[in-house]
Amino acid sequence: NAGVTQTPKFRVLKTGQSMTLLCAQDMNHEYMYWYRQDPGMGLRLIHYSVGEGTTAKGEVPDGYNVSRLKKQNFLLGLESAAPSQTSVYFCASIPNRSGGLNEQFFGPGTRLTVL
């Protein structure tokens, strides 16, 4: 199993450009998350999904959109990138609700720079 993978690993955008980050997991997990990590602020939740076809807002959703058309994929979109969106983006997943809470499995991250 590859676990949680993220594409791309690095990206540089100009202000106003758009892009999509792809998160894929091969563990049949129900729940998936997108976080951003900024120095001194830990991980902040952008959006999450509790199943195929569902999405919900997290702590810092503005400027981002997401889609979960397939269970294994969770896409994060930036329609008009801004310098404030320069960050490292992490995707994570957990199996499901049954059996109590589980650890989150994290992808390796995507480093995004917006000029």
Partner 1 sequence: AQSVTQPDIHITVSEGASLELRCNYSYGATPYLFWYVQSPGQGLQLLLKYFSGDTLVQGIKGFEAEFKRSQSSFNLRKPSVHWSDAAEYFCAVAITDSWGKFQFGAGTQVVVTP
| Nearer to partner 1 among residue 59 and residue 79 (C-beta) | 59
User: 3-state DSSP call for residue 84?
Assistant: helix
Query: Going residue by residue from 73 to 92, which x/- string records binding to partner 1, judged by CB under 8 A?
Result: -----------------x-x
Query: x-or-dash pattern for partner 1, window 22-61, by CB under 8 A?
Result: ---------x-x-x----xxxxxx--x-x-----x-x---
Please tell me whether residue 83 adopts helix, strand or coil conformation: helix
Phi, psi of 85 (to 5 degrees): -95, 5
Residue 30 forms beta bridges with which residues? none
Q: Which is nearer to partner 1, 19 or 88 (CB)?
A: 88
CB-CB contact of 69 with 32 (8 Å): no
Neighbours of 101 (CB within 10 A): 8
Judged by the rule CB under 8 A, the positions of this chain that interact with partner 1 are 4, 31, 33, 35, 40-45, 48, 50, 56, 58, 90, 92, 94, 97, 100-101, 103-104, 106-109
